[in-house]
A = this chain, B = another copy of it.
Amino acid sequence: MSAPTPAPCSPEDVRRVACIGAGVIGGGWVAHFLARGYDVTAWDPATDAEDKLRRLVGAAWPALEQMGLADGASQDRLTVTATLAEAVADAQFVQESAPEKLELKRSLLAELDAATPPGVVIASSTSGYPMTDMQPPHDAAATPQRLVVGHPFNPPYLIPLVEVVGGERTDAAAVEWSSRFYDVAGKSVITMDRELPGFIANRLQEALWREALHMVAEGEASVADIDASITEGPGLRWAFMGPCLTFALAGGEGGMAHMLDHFGPSLKSPWTRLEAPELDGALRDAMVDGCAEAAGDRTYADLVAERDQGVIDVLRATGRLGGDRR
């Protein structure tokens, strides 16, 4: 596992993490890294940032205790610094979580690049900008090769997913190093081999979200209907089985192939305002093969049993068995 030259340490040896920006996302990262036993330095330009951050971490701590703290994890290992430079001076990894404004991200990442020790990976929490649009060009002062996107989900201290992707000027080694680091730090990582606006999960969320906005705009459904339609329906399955494999199961023993062959034509029907892709042989096969790979050794009956137990467990866990509704 290599990092941009010179490598400060291996992903396993990181002890000190800097978090730049301490709002909902940045503060969530601080809580996560503290719970995993890291020393965390944090900086945010807001005057009340330290108070808000310590309140956020304090509010999250009982949840983190339930999840299981790493040895030595403590809220006392947080240092809020007066300057950005102090925050990153000794950092072995930097997580940037500034507001989602392109110009701000660009200037902040350039400033971080200048202030952070050589080779230390700097990851941006951006929820949608490609790193290529944010990273500085190569020049005597800038080392854009250690800049990656490490996109978390709210709250970062609970939701495992991080999407990792580099920009045009990012070293593949930095992408690899940060993916490994997040994994060591207890996250669930998807490493993307190309830039895509919104990455993966946000594109999927956004598609759903846009359709929801259309329905509300047209008076076709209320906010309450939309939320209930997910929490009482597909959301229960999606907590543990993704939309592709879920859809494959709806095909019975015929699986994804049956579903695509049976429902392929209705893909063109006017559900959603999203234009459907051409369901050609290549796409059909990619879906079928992907689901077969996801299923692995598990038979249809195995998957049904697993799904059923999962839904029951989720219903019970969220207080919806025995009439005890939230």
Using CB atoms and an 8 Å cutoff, list the residues of chain A in contact with chain B.
23-24, 59-60, 63, 66-68, 99-100, 128, 153-155, 158-161, 163, 188, 190, 192, 194, 196-198, 200-217, 220-245, 247, 249-252, 262-263, 266-267, 269-279, 282-283, 286-287, 289-291, 293-294, 301, 304-318, 320-322, 326
10 cross-chain CB contacts under 8 A: A68-B322, A99-B262, A160-B232, A160-B320, A192-B221, A198-B272, A204-B229, A209-B247, A214-B277, A217-B283
The CA-CA distance from A310 to B211 in the complex, in Å, is 25
Q: State the oligomeric state as a number of copies.
A: 2
Given the interface contacts A163-B229, A271-B197, does A205 sit within 8 Å of B128 by beta carbon? no
Residue in chain B with minimal CB distance to A157: B308
In the bound complex, residues from chain B placing their C-beta under 8 Å from that of A229 are 161, 163, 190, 200-201, 204, 242
Whether B252 pairs with A304 at a CB distance below 8 angstroms is: no
Residue in chain B with minimal CB distance to A152: B233
Whether A279 pairs with B231 at a CB distance below 8 angstroms is: no
The CA-CA distance from A78 to B162 in the complex, in Å, is 48
